[in-house]
Amino acid sequence: MGQNSVTKSKMKQQSLCSGLTVRAFLLAMFATVIMAFWTQHSELVIDSPSFNSIHPSVAGFFAVICISLFINPVLKAIRGAWALTQSEMLLIYSILIVTGPVVSIGGVHFFLPTLIAPYYYATPENEYAELFHHAIPSWFGPKETEVIRQFYEGSEGAGVPWAFWIKPLVLWTPFLLAVYFIFLCMNVIIRRQWTDREKLTFPLVSLPLEMTMNAEPSWHFNRFFRNRLMWVGFLIPVVLHGLNGLHVYIPSVPSIQYRNFNISRYFSERPWSAMGYTTVSFYPCVIGISYILTLDVAFSGGFFYAFTKAEAILGAAVGWSGSSSLARFPFLEEQGTGAFLAIAVLGLGFAWQHLRDVVRTAFVDTRHVDDSSEPLSYRAAVFGWLGSMLFLIVWSTTAGMTVLAAATFFILFCLFTISLTRMRVQSGMGWIHGPLSVQDFMLATVGTANLGVTNLTVLSHYYFMTGEMRGVMSVMPAQLEGFKVAETVRIPPKHLVVGLLLGTFIGLLLAYFAALGTIHEFGGNILNNWRLRSMPTIPFRRLQSVLSQPRDPDWLGIQFVAVGFAITMFLIFIRRHFVWWMFHPIGYASAHTTRTVRWVWFAMLIGCLIKYLAFKHGGIRTYRKLLPLFLGLILGDFFMGGFWGVVGWFSDEPGYLFFP
């Protein structure tokens, strides 16, 4: 009898350590429901805080902060067994950082208005109807004039006309789920290479691991929350965002200016004025993340941003920017596109032995490699990727695309997403915007005539996935960070996959309901401009332009894509042979995008400098001693982002935006 009791105790302990307990999953789903509705109000109605403009999801992170800091200590004080374990809290965290983008820009915010924008914004002057309306499949979205009007102008209490939305949502939902599942399969295929063999750093994982550590039996809070230095770091963003947030709601309260200092006004003469708008900002969370990064990554982000400014000044000095052929010099996004492709291609190239083993395990010998510890078996991952790709290509050809155009798009889409994922898990930059979109790169490569009206029209509807890397693409790095968390605290990865798949599906359905309800209540025309009006109309304005004035392949732009590819290959080659080399290819790639480093370059250099001084004057002991201070900066930033989001929920007035 005693042995049975011990066995049951061990089984119970293993269940708690697994993470996927009933209460953990229910809490994750409950938090997803709240996040789905909370996000619509904060991001659409009051324009802030932008929970998913920085990753991991602020709303998801805030939920785990509240559990760790407030709920769990109370549960432990009442009865120790009621407190959630670290694995349970991290399972909740891993689900929420994936569903956060899904209920926002990674799912519905760009997607829903894309379905009707080409009709609402059609005018006799832009000739949308004549140019491409005939190429839009009838099942892509509602076409009824009144339904479209209600989306942008409000339904005046009539609610959502679901009868017209159900069919397109039912047809698009498998498409979106296939995209998210492709990400999951690619993560399973590449995970072991990046985490075990190359040992990428995953800097954004450090804080959730620290703050969810189980407290000692005699304490209500763990060591992280008992560290005074952490609270010093925490209080810095609390004071900054506290005063500035109060200033938004009570203008008589003074604010503290610590971001967007315009320094370009001091360089008003040619050629220096070519550097363009340049600001200095002090984002606490960016300083904290940069302290965690390796010195070369943190330094390179700021260095290569300055390098892009030097390129622009050089172009103005020698007259390139004034000529017709080089007017776009330094071809920032083209260089960035080459860099992103190089990071993806070489990242896969360095993993060729691992990928060979994966393919062999999937097709030939399931016993060739032990994949029992993977989230999915390699066979399931490989065939899942192939099946999902086939589904997306067939779906696209049903919409009118050619097989070649559809296959090219989704292969490039996967490469860009792999590059984004590697950059995020190695650099911690959760705000990467990206270079040229996949559509723009395809158009620049082959021109208007070779793609044709139908291909271009369908590709324009896919812009919601590619125009903003903080959107749909951000789901893949969030999934991989969840796998890293699961590995670290020994959550069975297959349990996490179940949570992620269910969370993604439930989150997407909730997001449809919450977003359409909010949009029809207020009217899209008075809600967030970027998400509902600007971003969804960009692809159709460009489509109108390239159909009205057909473009040939942009050979000069492609040459600069090749330049970016070559420079990145050179940087990677040098890094692999000289450990002292300080210039990281991720810094080059992120700097050669439109907005990734523009806001944060100075904060990255500050974090890098402090880390350098800590190592120089105190070594690894000083670095580790100061680490809680910088984790506190990140924690305080994200906490205040969530706090002002809670405050904003009770108001329809513009709220406080903590980042950027």
pLDDT digits (tens, 9 = 90+) for 58-96: 888 888 888 888 888 888 888 877 888 889 999 999 999
Kindly tell me if the per-residue pLDDT of 11 is higher than 80.
no
Higher-pLDDT residue of 373, 7: 373
pLDDT digits (tens, 9 = 90+) for 207-228: 999 988 887 877 888 889 999 9
Dihedral sign, Cα of residue 464, residue 465, residue 470, residue 474 = positive
pLDDT digits (tens, 9 = 90+) for 292-308: 888 888 889 889 999 99
| pLDDT reported for residue 12 | 41
Helix (H), strand (E) at residue 508: helix 493-522
Q: Confidence class of residue 18 from pLDDT cuts 50, 70 and 90?
A: low
| pLDDT reported for residue 323 | 66
Other CB atoms within 10 Å distance of the CB of residue 29: 19
Tokens 């995209």 sit on residue: 179
- The SS3 assignment for 272 reads helix
Asked whether the beta carbons of 189 and 352 are under 8 A apart, the reply is no
Asked whether the beta carbons of 603 and 317 are under 8 A apart, the reply is no
Nearest to 69 by CA among 463, 618, 642: 642
Own/partner contacts of 190-196, CB < 8 Å, gap of 24 or more, are: 190/348, 190/351, 190/354, 190/418, 191/374, 191/375, 191/480, 191/483, 192/354, 192/374, 193/350, 193/351, 193/354, 193/355, 194/351, 194/422, 194/425, 194/480, 195/483, 195/484, 195/487
| pLDDT reported for residue 135 | 95
For residue 36, the number of C-alpha atoms closer than 13 Å in the C-beta half-sphere is 25
pTM of this structure: 0.92
- The SS3 assignment for 261 reads strand
| pLDDT reported for residue 222 | 85
| pLDDT reported for residue 472 | 93
Q: What backbone phi and psi angles, to 5 degrees, belong to 279?
A: -125, 160
Asked whether the beta carbons of 54 and 204 are under 8 A apart, the reply is no
- The SS3 assignment for 262 reads strand
d(CA 379, CA 370): 12
Q: What average pLDDT does range 579-605 have in this prediction?
A: 87
d(CA 558, CA 549): 20
Q: What average pLDDT does range 92-107 have in this prediction?
A: 91
- The distance of Cα 291 from the centroid of its chain, to the nearest Å, equals 21
CA distances from 51 to 430, 464, 506, 614 (A): 12, 18, 19, 32
Higher-pLDDT residue of 627, 369: 627
Pick from 100-104, 171-175, 488-492: least confident: 488-492
CA distances from 355 to 190, 193, 348, 416 (A): 8, 9, 8, 18
Tokens 């008075």 sit on residue: 526
Nearest to 179 by CA among 354, 388, 34, 16: 388
What would the DSSP string read from start to end of 58-117? Answer: HHHHHHHHHIIIIIHHHHHHH-GGGSPPHHHHHHHHHHHHHHHHHTTTTTTTTHHHHTTH
Nearest to 195 by CA among 479, 432, 620, 565: 479
Higher-pLDDT residue of 217, 407: 407
d(CA 78, CA 73): 9
pLDDT digits (tens, 9 = 90+) for 472-520: 999 999 999 999 998 888 888 888 999 999 999 999 999 999 999 999 9
Q: Which residues pair with 279 in a beta bridge?
A: 262
CA distances from 336 to 58, 328, 395, 428 (A): 27, 14, 30, 18
Give the whole-number percent of the chain exceeding pLDDT 70: 96
Q: What average pLDDT does range 363-375 have in this prediction?
A: 82
Q: Confidence class of residue 4 from pLDDT cuts 50, 70 and 90?
A: very low
Across 20-34, 78-92, 391-405, the highest mean pLDDT is recorded for 391-405
Higher-pLDDT residue of 70, 453: 453
Q: What is the DSSP letter of 222?
A: -
Kindly tell me if the per-residue pLDDT of 8 is higher than 70.
no
Q: What is the DSSP letter of 371?
A: -
Q: Which residues pair with 280 in a beta bridge?
A: 261
Angle at 288 between CA 284 and CA 291, to 5 degrees: 140
Q: What helix, strand, coil percent values describe the chain, rounded to 5?
A: 70, 0, 30
| pLDDT reported for residue 322 | 64
pLDDT digits (tens, 9 = 90+) for 309-318: 898 888 888 8
Q: Confidence class of residue 428 from pLDDT cuts 50, 70 and 90?
A: confident
Pick from 426-430, 433-437, 581-585: least confident: 426-430
Q: What average pLDDT does range 154-183 have in this prediction?
A: 94
pLDDT digits (tens, 9 = 90+) for 521-575: 999 999 989 899 999 999 999 999 999 999 999 999 999 999 999 999 999 999 8
Q: What backbone phi and psi angles, to 5 degrees, belong to 376?
A: -130, 155
Q: What average pLDDT does range 234-249 have in this prediction?
A: 92
d(CA 100, CA 60): 6
Kindly tell me if the per-residue pLDDT of 10 is higher than 50.
no
